[in-house]
Chain A
Amino acid sequence: MPERTATIASRSGLHARPAALFAEAAGEQPVEVTIAMQGEPADDALDAASILSLMTLGAAKGDVVVLRAEGDGADAALDALVKLLETDLDAE
């Protein structure tokens, strides 16, 4: 299964506005994307399009997360979402 790691760049972590923007973007992808903290089993991964899941994940700035997806367009979807995580969304 294609996967990518990304380092959270937003100052407030994956909360608040960054979480909303990321969840919305994940929901717009043609494939289902999951998110987990690096080092956690893939089985425990959460739905990346769920803002509530993202909030309970509690990823702070500098934390590394793993995104996974399968199917047509998975690689493009993952690339787009990694880029979003590595942007400081609080600064916009």
Chain B
Amino acid sequence: MQNFQGVGVSPGRIIGSVRQMPKPVSEPPSGERLAADVAPEDAVAGLKAAAQSVHDELKGRADSASGDGKAVLEATALMAKDTMLLKSAAKLINAGSSAERAIWEAGASVSEMLHNLGGYMAERATDVLDVRARIVAELRGVPAPGIPASETPFILVAEDLAPADTATLNPSVVLALVTSGGGPQSHTAIIARSLGLPAVVAAHGVDEIADGTEVYVDGAAGFVAVSPSEEQRAAATAWAETSATLAEFDGNGTTADGHLVPLLANVGGAKDAVAAAALGAQGVGLFRTEFCFLERDTEPSVDEQAAAYKAVFDAFPGKKVVLRTLDAGADKPLPFLTDATEPNPALGVRGYRTDFTTPGVLERQLEAIARAASESDADVWVMAPMISTAAEAGRFASLCAAAGIQTPGVMVEVPSAALTAATVLREVGFASLGTNDLTQYAMAADRQLGPLAELNTPWQPAVLRLVQLTVEGAAQEGSGREGDPKPVGVCGEAAADPALAVVLTGLGVTTLSMTARSLAAVGTVLKTVTLEQAQELARLALSAPSALEARDWVRAKLPVLEELGL
């Protein structure tokens, strides 16, 4: 029996057969010539046949898809047998190039042309590259890149998933995700949590598991086993039952002794907000407004923004909705705001800082928020991302006041903001800890890098200490709305981990915001501890010499996690 240990990023215990994600298609060597015994006409005919079968495969998938995904697949299918693409490849073949190299170069130049046109066309540039890779795979007789198409459910094993893979990932067929690379904050982890799929990342060696092998995956323990044992089969059966009871949150986040910790949802638009409300979210702790701006060349109008924000506010009448102003830069570039040539974008002009270089965008966004808030019944709070100093917090608060926004706040993601929380919170009404970036900056470890996965976890005692400092600063600063310390929430991935949620509660965090699918699990575990026990667990985690021990020590004191498979 062979076992693999990785990092568990989304709970669930499941047994299924493995399908490996095909390796990315490698570039045919530059200058690769047509074999001497192949006539150019035959090579062109072969290319056309390969293109046709790629077209047919994509068309078949389009037929069974729906909505936006269907439209994209239909367009991509047409690109596969596009005359412009194939004619320019044929020209290269006639000049002596191999068919693989010819389609590779033809695809590159078309893709560049689309990229230079910008906007919608630039987005399609990657589709051309995808089609090109598929045709090369077809010519070579190797499996097409991307998530395998399959009718029977399987456990997907890959090196790592890209955001684009989400579109083709069918959660009714994919049972679980296992990757050899990636970290707890990688795209794979985020995709898995949002779809509610068990997932293990950074499991070294899993690339070698053969297709069709039956494996057991424990997405909480970060464990993958080949040839599952009887105990593991029983655990998978038990999970199937508990997961059904963990699907619904009763809308009341509280500890066993009645200390209230509202559980809120992270949403990216009206659709998410409606789904989160249906799952029992007590409000929104992080409304990402980027959706309004991404994939655009120009800034959306105030009217357009106000309508989009109101649609989210309307899903939570009478409840709190915490909106984060535009957070562009680093992994979320925007042509009209950010500079793609920055040598170190994570430390660059991003988040609130884009107001230094492009003033006006933030003020217009605040105007739109204020208007939407005045037309809805939600209790709207507004926070700025990437605040580093009290002066920035003060300036943001005055911009909010000028726009007529009642409750300004800040995201605490930069360690300096946590360290000076008392002065930062003197300027604003609340703080929300973005643990993903806070961890990345505290540990100086890029979120997306697999080799740094061990550093990049919010279980790091240093990160927990920064959370504690923020809460202490808020307490020192004194009164919020009702004379209590100013509220400090958490809206990073950490809040979705039930064990960490208990620790954060013990540290004094007032609200937890997470992907809506995690609400029920977090709510269930929180109800099993008293505030005093949570505080004890927080002290335990802070005293640990490493992230691994912090996690293990806390989990050992929370047997409910093992029982539920969380």
Contact = CB atoms under 8 A, between A and B. Distances in A.
A52 B71 contact: no
Given A51-B75, A51-B78, A56 B117 contact: yes
Specify which of B84, B117, B124 lies most central, judged by the most chain A CB atoms within 10 Å of its CB: B84
Contacts, number: 48
Contacts of A23: 78
B452 to A, nearest CB: 39
B229 interface: no
B142 interface: no
Nearest to A13: B120
Contacts of B78: 20, 23-24, 51
A52 B120 contact: no
Contact of B120 (A16, A20, A47): A16
A85 interface: no
B25 interface: no
Given A20-B78, A52-B110, A52-B128, A15 B120 contact: yes
Given A15-B121, A16-B120, A56 B113 contact: yes
A53 B82 CA distance: 9
Given A16-B120, A55-B124, A58-B121, A47 B75 contact: no
B75 A53 contact: no
B84 A20 contact: no
A47 B81 CA distance: 13
A12 B85 CA distance: 23
Interface in B87-132: 110, 113-114, 117, 120-121, 124, 128
Interface in B126-143: 128
Interface string A1-45: 000000000001001110110011000000000000000000000
The size bracket of the interface on B is 10 to 19
Given A15-B121, A55-B114, A58-B117, A46 B84 contact: yes
B83 interface: yes
A17 B114 contact: no
Contacts of B121: 15, 55-56, 58
The size bracket of the interface on A is 10 to 19
B120 A12 contact: yes
Contacts of A55: 114, 117, 121, 124
A52 B76 CA distance: 10
Contacts of A67: none
B114 A20 contact: no
Nearest to B114: A55
B82 A20 contact: no
B537 interface: no
B63 to A, nearest CB: 13
A50 B71 contact: no
A61 to B, nearest CB: 13
B400 interface: no
B74 A50 contact: no
Contact of B79 (A46, A52, A58): A52
Interface string A56-79: 101000000000000000000000
Interface in B368-425: none
Contacts of A20: 71, 74-75, 78
A49 to B, nearest CB: 6
A47 B84 contact: yes
Contact of B82 (A17, A52, A58): A52
Given A52-B82, A52-B110, A19 B75 contact: yes
A51 B79 contact: yes
A47 B83 contact: yes
A74 to B, nearest CB: 18
Nearest to A23: B78
Nearest to A46: B84
Nearest to A19: B75
B84 A53 contact: yes
Nearest to B110: A52
Contacts of B128: 52
A74 B425 CA distance: 73
Nearest to A51: B78
A15 B127 CA distance: 14
Contacts of A58: 117, 121
Specify which of B82, B113, B128 lies most central, judged by the most chain A CB atoms within 10 Å of its CB: B82
Interface of B: 71, 74-75, 78-79, 82-85, 110, 113-114, 117, 120-121, 124, 128
25 contacts: A15-B120, A15-B121, A16-B120, A17-B71, A17-B75, A19-B75, A20-B71, A20-B74, A20-B75, A23-B78, A24-B78, A47-B83, A47-B84, A50-B84, A50-B85, A51-B78, A51-B79, A51-B82, A52-B110, A52-B128, A53-B84, A55-B117, A56-B113, A56-B121, A58-B117
Given A20-B74, A52-B84, 11 more contacts: A15-B120, A17-B74, A20-B71, A20-B75, A20-B78, A50-B85, A51-B79, A52-B110, A55-B114, A58-B117, A58-B121
A-B pairs with lowest CB-CB distance, top 9:
A50-B84, A20-B75, A51-B78, A50-B83, A52-B84, A17-B71, A52-B82, A53-B84, A47-B83
